[in-house]
Structures are given as C-alpha cells and as structure tokens.
Amino acid sequence: MGRLRPGARRGGYVIRLATGEDLEALGRLGALLMRTHYAFDPRRFLAPGDEPESGYAWFLETQLREPDVAIFVAEQDGRVVGYVYAGLEPLSWKELRGPAGFIHDIVVEDQARGAGVARELIGAAVQWLRQRGAPRVMLWTAAQNERAQGLFDAAGFRKTMIEMTLELELTPPDPDPAP
C-alpha cells in the first residue's frame, strides 16, 4: 500500500481531503459506484434511479461535516478522478466486533485505473484511521468485484465475513390477525 502523504503528487495526481467544491465530482463518482453495484446484483443493491449524482452528492455532503469521517479525493489535472470515504465505527455487538475504521466507498474512474490511484486513496484512508486510533480497518466488497478484491488483498486486507442474501416475497399483512 502506498505511503503518499495527502496533498503530495504522484503520477500526475494528488490525494487530498475533499471539500464542498468537490460535491459535483463526488456525486458523479458515487453514481458510478451505485450503477456498478446495481449491475452486479439489482436485487441486492439500491437502484440508481433518475438522479443518483445529486443524491450521492447530498449524502456525501452530510458526511463531510462528520468529525469521525474523512473523504479523500484523487485529483488529476484539476479533475477529481476518484475518492475514498472512510470513518471510525464504535464497538458493535450486532457485528461482534470492537471499534474499527471502515472504508465505506472507494471508486476510481475507468480512465484513471491501473495508475495506483485506488492504492493511494486506500493508503490515505488507512493513515487517517490509524492516526485516530483505529485498531483495524474493515471494508465490504461486492462478491462479483474480483478486481477490487485483488486490490484489497494486495493492500493487506483479509476475508473475514461473507454476506448472504435471501430475497423474500412480500405478502400483504393479514387485516384480521387471530388473537
């Protein structure tokens, strides 16, 4: 995993903390993430809808204000080509884990892939989480996203859980339930 300091240049791109000025690009990239996951499994992942760009920009804007969250962008020639969204998560009895850093999103435009951008974004997120005392960093990845899994393996992540989904047919509630 890279050791690029946020704000430093490598390979024609810079990794830096996102600002409100990046929201349009973050929305565009978040929509790309939504569409990719929906294409993997439309029954599991949220449908992008008509304007996922504005919805994702709105969501990430709320996260920019959170003290336990960081969003780093990769900027190349003045254009944001990728981002990583990470945060600190408290102990979770539901998930049977202690406090952890969590990488929620990572996405890089197709034309910027293969240049080490994702690796450097992960490095920036891990560094930020480590500096805030996270004892581990976790993430989820779509089962079909083998390219991302290769990146995460190379960055030192290991598989610990497998999500399984059962789709249920919704039935209308019984209007007169028996006592």
List alpha helices for 65-145, DSSP H: 117-131
Determine contact, residues 100/68, Cβ cutoff 8 Å: no
Determine contact, residues 111/101, Cβ cutoff 8 Å: no
Range of the domain at 134: 9-154
Within-domain flag for 107: yes
pLDDT in tens, 89-99: 999 999 999 99
Within-domain flag for 176: no
Structural domain count of the chain: 1
State what percent of residues in the chain have pLDDT above 70: 92
Within-domain flag for 138: yes
Residue 89: CATH number of its domain: 3.40.630.30
Residue 2 has pLDDT above 50, yes or no: no
State what percent of residues in the chain have pLDDT above 90: 87
Within-domain flag for 28: yes
Within-domain flag for 159: no
Q: For the whole prediction, is pTM greater than 0.85?
A: yes
Rounded CA separation 156/4 (Å): 17
Within-domain flag for 54: yes
pLDDT in tens, 137-179: 999 999 999 999 999 999 999 999 999 999 998 888 877 777 6
Determine contact, residues 104/138, Cβ cutoff 8 Å: no
